[in-house]
Structure 1
Amino acid sequence: MFDFLKGMSPITQALLATMFTWFVTALGASLVFFFKTINKKVFDAMLGFAAGIMIAASFWSLLNPGITLAEEMGYVAWVPAAIGFMGGGIFLYIVDRLLPHLHLGLAANKAEGIKTSWQRSVLLVLAITLHNIPEGLAVGVAFGAVYHGISTASMAGAVALAIGIGLQNFPEGAAVSIPLRREGMSRFKAFLLGQASGVVEPIAGVLGAYLVSIMRPILPYALCFAAGAMIYVVIEELIPEAQSNGNSDVATMGALIGFTIMMILDVALG
């Protein structure tokens, strides 16, 4: 089914896959041309959906293959998993503390990271951009694993991961553009800023694929690193934001649906 990808380098594969995820971010941001506001329950369900996909992808597409690969390479299986997973979370924690950004629905004086005079719109974009670093990295590492012929990795599985990440990028694009439109920004400018939050994914994807393609021993660590970074985003940002409006049941059902869809994609295709 994906034979056309097999003749390409892992870097090219990762670039194409993350360009797709960026495109889906832009599709989500394009909702601003049709809506000025979005129902809070729908929005919270979308955030829960994104969280569910990221949780499932972290295990099925990253942690589990990373542990299996570590065993095949003669490592003590839990060591790369623990180091990589915690490393990913700590890396995102450091970035979260340093990068100026603003979570959805908060006033500008609630911005996190180094204090700055940047506009609220820029801070909102940077918050979503922070989500997209581990997502792009995960896709790149997945294609790098296929390049090395890892038994637990397959082209279909890497594509499934990219599709799952793309699905959860749709609400993230809307999560930036629609609030900016509601604050008075023009539709076109709000769209540009919304889709810009996905620019980092191709960069992170190419970087991940490049590193694991030249340094095979780090692959188990890289897979688990991406998983840890994604789980950090889910617990620190997506779940709290999804439940901040009192719609916890809707957000939870969205997470269950997202997890199920990503699990089906990974098991059926991978």
Structure 2
Amino acid sequence: MGKTLSKEEQEQKEVNELRTKVIKLFQGQQLLFVGTIGSGKSSFVNTVNHALNLVDPKVPYQELARIGATDAVHGTMTYRTYTMKKGLFQSLKSQVPDPSNAPRLFDIAGVTEQLLQKDNFDFKQVLVYLIQGKVKELTQMIKLYNSKQQLQEIGKQEEVEENKVWIMVCVVSLYDPFPQLLLEQVASAVQELEPQNGGTSVFVVLTKGDRLDSVDRSTRVKNFSKRCQTVLNIMEKRIFEVNNYLPSELKIDATTTKNLEKEKSVVAALNFMLQPAFIPDSQK
């Protein structure tokens, strides 16, 4: 007889099996993360990287995305592409059809509700060009946000197939005000492009619930979830609550900092998002 696993060991085994499945589904996928400043977009990129074991255990700390604040020194100011090629993804060469076809995560500068209210700021059009693959990596997003002329120049660019986005993840902080205007722009951009590209799948990740007490957190999860469903016209099952890894948790040796609950929530969310049913036939 084999060894009887403890409850925690059994849960870890199940997470490991699901993680392997997710990495196979992840191959070649491209996810765009949008959200307000400080919502946890870059932290979620690092949480995904860490939860999927895509860190090199020989290196104490690897962050794909630099954790942002609200200034040009710390925040995400450019359009960044993070290619996940390290650790477990490469170790699964025998199981993954094409390990060189690593997934990419697109991270853009966060916006504020105040910026979205400005007459000269067309965030919907920015999103349209991002989805179409017209925006080049390292584009200064802040300049793009504040210049209609630069936005018009981007619109003249050819669509780049390999930069097109079929999955958009809205990162929403439970700790901050509900981003009504941002989500309205997301819904509008996706609706405009649907006849052309067959639809971009939209999901929501609710973050920073760990900053709230249990009662307030539960109330906000229900409230934010309902509002996301209404604004984005999506089903509840497309909304996930995830607690990001803190920088302090990541900076310890990568092999000893795993948090089972965080791993579980991230891996389960990705497993749902990456199902073939959400990817256009042309991209499968």
Q: TM-score, normalised by structure 1?
A: 0.31
Bigger Rg, which one? 2
Q: Which has the higher contact order (CA 8 A, sep 6+)?
A: 1
Give the structure-2-normalised TM-score: 0.30
Query: Which structure shows the higher strand fraction?
Result: 2
Structure number having the greater helix percentage:
1
